[in-house]
């Protein structure tokens, strides 16, 4: 029974994401409303069961540590990776460095598009035989 419910919501999510991805502003708005309402409910539940400040911090920290979300929730993996490889912060990078990175990204995107086209052409050629 639970597997059916999970499967239903999984398929519903796929369809919804597919449709909303064409309307990013509406997608962002709905996502934002959902997040705010979710946390409002958590906040009110904590108030209703008289969860104290210190207990809230302890329970929240333990949950975040156990699930592995603690670090990514507060600083994100990109920040950790940039620190590990000694990369400068965006605010410290010279304009030239940023433009160079943008050019590199555009070149990678172009290469990826060519590879995708070649794969598509190959698939079309295989389908004709």
What pLDDT, in 10s, does the model give residues 94-112? 667 777 888 888 888 899 8
pLDDT range class, residue 24, cuts 50, 70, 90: confident
Average pLDDT (12-38) is 89
Average pLDDT of 10-19? 87
- Contact in structure between 56 and 64 (CB atoms under 8 Å): no
Which are the contacts of 80, defined by CB distance < 8 A and separation ≥ 6? 71
* pLDDT band with cut points at 50, 70 and 90 for residue 123: confident
What is the tens place of the pLDDT at every residue in 37-91? 999 999 999 999 999 989 999 998 898 888 888 777 777 666 666 666 766 665 5
CB within 8 A of 88, min separation 6: which ones? 82, 97
Mean pLDDT, rounded, for 3-28:
89
Cβ(9)–Cβ(17) below 8 Å: no
Q: What's residue 125's pLDDT?
A: 80
Spatial separation of the C-alpha atoms in residues 100 and 106, rounded to whole Å: 10
- Give the pLDDT mean for 121-129: 75
Q: CA–CA separation, 13 vs 124, rounded Å? A: 31
């Amino acid at each position: 029974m639970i597997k059916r419910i999970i499967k239903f919501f999984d398929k519903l999510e796929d369809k919804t994401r597919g449709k909303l991805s064409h309307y990013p502003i509406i997608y962002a708005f709905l996502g934002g409303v959902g997040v705010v309402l979710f946390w409002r409910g958590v906040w009110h539940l904590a108030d209703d069961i008289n969860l104290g400040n210190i207990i809230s911090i302890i329970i929240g920290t333990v949950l975040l540590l156990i699930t592995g979300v603690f670090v990514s929730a507060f600083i994100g993996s990109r920040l950790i990776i940039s620190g590990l490889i000694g990369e400068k912060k965006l605010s410290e990078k010279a304009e030239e460095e940023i433009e160079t990175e943008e050019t590199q990204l555009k070149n990678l995107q172009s290469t990826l598009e060519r590879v995708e086209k070649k794969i598509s052409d190959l698939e079309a050629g295989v389908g004709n035989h």
